[in-house]
Structure 1
């Protein structure tokens, strides 16, 4: 008997250019100045975690390092703060990807929350070691926002994979 929550649609393989295009869009979104607004998600961390879980053979610690350095450069942050956090996030997401994929997208989001919180904790620790002050507990609200965005992001990012190569009215999927 099949579980009722599973989709019966077959996903096509992801196009690598789409993965890295979405990460570049996340990088551009992270450069948008939001001031000190609490709860704005770390778009790069969120998409990096998503693609590390979904496509672990194509996205990993190397992508985390490169995008982390680019975020460090864009923010003018302590060099390596985001790079270290994103590398650890990519490692952790790759490590749990097989287990996470067994769950529904809502259950996946709950399991991604500790990964996003861990990445933020690493960034805070590195920042404080460099002499900055503690940013406050509101800083960690962006992990909760990222967790809430996991479900809609899941459907938006997988939408191109649901499209068939060519339309055939006689084919059921």
Structure 2
């Protein structure tokens, strides 16, 4: 990466930090999927630069930081990012409300895959609390989209 293009990496690192930063328990239940949202933005805006490979590496980083089995978050992030990368032209033309609905579906898919893989590995029981971050993610999506787009245009990230 050269010059302003390093902003993509910086934003992904910020997403990882926001994903793991300690928060009080009641608030942590509603923590948005920052990393997923940032990866979705970049795979919509620059699908040739950020795709499944970047999502897999970011997911492995989350697995290491969370202490989960390697590959759980990597696989769970790769699926929604693949869907976004395959349909980025359509998603770009959606209104913000339609994009928010897609974020809800993609975030729910992410959490269901994480739950499913952890169930296979450790036998955890399902709880609807696992899906609360999907709801908060749609609330933060418009602001995050606007912020990243503003930085991408001002820094001329291509």
In the alignment, structure 1 residue 116 sits paired with structure 2 residue 102: no
Partner in structure 2 of residue 55 of structure 1: 46
Q: Deviations over 1:33-68 (max 9, x none)?
A: 236431111211111112111211110011011000
Root-mean-square deviation (Å): 1.8
Structure-2 change in CA distance of 1:100 and 1:73 (3 Å):
same
Partner in structure 2 of residue 12 of structure 1: none
Query: TM-score by structure 2 length?
Result: 0.87
Deviation at 1:107, TM superposition (A): 2.2
Structure 1's consecutive aligned runs of 4 or more residues displaced over 4 angstroms after TM superposition are none
**Alignment length, in residue pairs?**
151
Structure-2 change in CA distance of 1:50 and 1:134 (3 Å):
farther
Contact 1:39 1:139 in 2 (8 A): no
Query: TM-score by structure 1 length?
Result: 0.80
In structure 2, C-alpha distance between the alignment counterparts of 1:164 and 1:73, rounded to whole Å: 31
Unaligned runs of 5+ in 1: 1-14, 166-173
Q: SS at 1:130's partner residue?
A: helix
- Match among 1, 9, 13 for residue 24 of structure 1: 13
1:20-169 to structure 2, matched below 5 A, reads 20-34=9-23, 36=25, 37-163=28-154
Q: Which of these two proteins has the greater Rg computed from alpha carbons? A: 1
Higher normalized helix content (fraction of residues): 2
